[in-house]
Chain A
Amino acid sequence: MSGLHRENGPLPTGSERVLEVAGLYRRFGEREVLRGLELRLWAGERLAVTGPNGSGKTTLLRCVSGTLTPSGGRVEVCGHLAGSLAARRRIGVSLSQERSFYLRLSGRNNLLFFARLRHRRESEARMATEQLIDELELETIAAERVDRCSTGMVQQLALARALLGSPALLVLDEPTRSLDPGAVERLWGAIDRRPELTLLIATHRSDDVERCTERLDLGAMSRP
């Protein structure tokens, strides 16, 4: 696992390999953003990806989420090629939170829409949505139209959406950037209540890194 540092104690005891990144290479035109990245995460592991702006954090997260195809190498989620339907069923994603909701709909209707994409039955979608609204204390935000929500409120909604469908892997891009301390605690509380959940988080905040079991510094990797 090149560039990986263990932060907090021993490996979790999960037995399933949730994420495998092998020789990941991604370029945009002439610019190489990721070069030969190797990474493996097991159930329950939490990896903080750090590095300066432009070091490839979001690019890595997009390759894992399947919205960006690697220029080379392979990314698998629970043994399924990233971006495949099977991989997307097992992953919860929160990228570009401010630009990812239907602004004319309420927070609840946004969550319900994404829940319906993951649950066959309407009753299941509604139950999953209401449980997350309750767990993350989002009742006020859920009732509000998204274009009337602050950035921090939308970020909390984005976490709820990522947790829909009980994913095995949670991919979060700077999820605490605009959150107040209470919301940060609710975010980590939700993750702590899911010990089998594997976390891949891009962050600039040291307190986020401290909550993770491992750290990948892409800035260090890109330096000669």
Chain B
Amino acid sequence: MSTTRALFIRDFLIARSYRLAVVLDLILGLLNLLVYYFISQTFGDPAPSDLGSAPSYFAFAGVGIAMTTVINAATAAVSARVRQEQLTGTLEATLTQPVSSAGLATGMSGLPFLAAAVRAAMYLVLAALILDLDFPQADWGGAVAVLAISGIALSSLGILSAALVMVLKRGDVVVSLGVFALGLLSGSVFPISVLPAWLEPIAEVMPTRFAFDGLRDALFGGDWSGDVAVLCLFAVVLLPPALWAFAASLRAAKRSGSIAEY
């Protein structure tokens, strides 16, 4: 727990030193929402059955954008942090401290996830204030539950990605591609029913699909409990092997002597 706290405070202080980035990120999020707002205005809404619980295409895409922020943080932030530590040389200094590999992996996930959840909430607030997105049937407790369990379940993918970066160094490109594909296939900004028929069964079992659907269900009056149950299952199944892979990647890096390499 002290490791997680130490890493959380460290990441918070570093993030705080880039104050302008926080503002720019919010502006970028708003621009992203605006794009889908105007797409929605231009082309109208698809059949309601394609949108799940969402009452309009903009509601569907807006929540998708917010959830994508959390998914990106959970899946790509740890590997990005590992890569940064390799480049700045702080990885070796941290690994000489009494820190377990599991503590390191989970600790590095903490702040990126929390910051992304806050950003996602702010995107939704902006969408409500500026673009008239309504949440009359929202179950806010359910939304928090979906965000939290999504972060835990999907951080296993992030820890696996970090293991890849630890060994391959430039694995961040592979990770970025993977995260992009996850969003594309899981119904982030368009329904999976528009995917080619052969891709739909794959999309149906993506953990990220349950995260998107769960948040839309929680915010627009649907039943989110099934999505949370599946995400819990993903967390239980994926997290232990992800932590094992991260520990194995550290051992491999120590064997090859690449901990201190760029």
Binding site for B on A (CB under 8 A): 28, 62, 65-69, 83, 85, 88-89, 91, 93, 95-96, 98-105, 109, 112-114, 116-120, 161, 165
How far is A28 from B257 in the complex, measured between Cα atoms in Å? 8
- Are B96 and A88 within 8 A (Cβ)? yes
- Bound Cα distance A105, B14 (Å): 7
Residues of chain A contacted by B255 (CB below 8 angstroms): 69
* Residue numbers in B under 8 Å from A93 (CB-CB): 93, 96
Q: Nearest residue in A to B259 (C-beta to C-beta)?
A: A67
How distant is B34 from chain A, measured CB to nearest CB, in Å? 32
- 20 example contacts (A-B, Cβ-Cβ < 8 A) are as follows A62-B260, A65-B96, A66-B96, A67-B254, A83-B254, A93-B93, A95-B93, A95-B260, A99-B88, A99-B89, A100-B92, A102-B10, A103-B88, A105-B10, A112-B9, A113-B10, A116-B5, A117-B94, A118-B98, A161-B93
Task: Name the residue among A67, A68, A85, A165 with the largest chain B CB count within 10 angstroms.
Answer: A67
Other A-B pairs beyond A66-B254, A88-B98, A112-B9, 8, CB < 8 Å: A66-B96, A88-B96, A95-B93, A95-B96, A100-B90, A102-B10, A117-B98, A119-B2
B99 within 8 A of A: yes
B6 within 8 A of A: yes
B42: interface (CB < 8 Å): no
A32–B93 CA distance with the chains assembled, in angstroms: 25
Min distance, Cβ A44 to any Cβ of chain B, angstroms: 22
- In the bound complex, residues from chain B placing their C-beta under 8 Å from that of A161 are 93
Mask of B1-37 contacts with A, CB within 8 angstroms, 1/0? 0110110011001100110000000000000000000
Which of B2, B90, B92, B99 sits near A120, CB closer than 8 Å? Answer: B2
* B49 within 8 A of partner (CB): no
Contact with A104, one of B14, B96, B97 (Cβ below 8 angstroms): B14
Q: A100-B90, A103-B88, A117-B99 are in contact. Are A68 and B257 (CB under 8 A)?
A: yes
Interface residues of B in 221-262 (CB under 8 A from A): 251, 254-255, 257, 259-260
Q: Is the CB of B14 within 8 A of A68?
A: no
Q: CB of B131 within 8 A of chain A?
A: no
Interface residues on B, range: 20 to 34
Residue numbers in B under 8 Å from A67 (CB-CB): 92, 95-96, 254, 259-260
B90 pairs with A69, CB closer than 8 A: no
Which A residues lie within 8 Å of B9 (CB)?
112-113, 116
Shortest C-beta distance, B186 to chain A (Å), equals: 34
Candidate in B9, B96, B251 with the most chain A CB atoms within 10 angstroms? B96
Shortest distance in angstroms between B165's beta carbon and chain A's nearest beta carbon? Answer: 17
The docked-state distance in angstroms from the alpha carbon of A67 to that of B257 is 8
CA distance A62 to B261 in the complex (A): 13
- Which chain B residues lie closer than 8 Å to A114 at the CB level? 93, 97
Closest to A66 in B: B96
Contact of B2 among A69, A88, A102, A116 (CB under 8 A): A116
Whether the pair A96, B260 counts as a contact (CB closer than 8 A) is yes
B14 cross-chain contacts in A, Cβ below 8 A: 102, 104-105
B residues near A95, Cβ cutoff 8 Å: 92-93, 96, 260
In the complex, residue of chain A having the shortest beta-carbon distance to the beta carbon of B257? A68
Q: What residue of chain A has the Cβ atom nearest to residue B18's Cβ?
A: A104
**A146 to nearest B CB, angstroms?**
10
> Residues 30-57 of chain B: 1 if any A CB is under 8 Å from the residue's CB, otherwise 0?
0000000000000000000000000000
Q: How far is the CA of A101 from the CA of B99 in the complex (A)?
A: 17
Q: Please, how many angstroms separate the alpha-carbon atoms of A101 and B18 in the complex?
A: 17
Please name all residues of chain A whose beta carbon is closer than 8 Å to the beta carbon of B96 when the two chains form the complex: 65-67, 88, 91, 93, 95
- Nearest residue (CB) in A for B3 is A117
Contacts of A119 in B (CB 8 A): 2
Q: Which residues of B contact A102 (CB under 8 A)?
A: 10, 14, 88, 90
Please tell me if the beta carbons of A117 and B251 are within 8 angstroms of each other in the complex. Answer: no
CB distance from B170 to the nearest CB of A (A): 19
In the complex, the 8 A-B pairs of residues with the closest C-beta atoms, listed nearest first? A99-B89, A116-B6, A100-B93, A93-B96, A104-B17, A117-B97, A88-B98, A89-B98
* Chain B neighbourhood of A112, CB < 8 A: 9
Q: Closest approach, in angstroms, between the C-beta of B118 and any C-beta of chain A?
A: 20
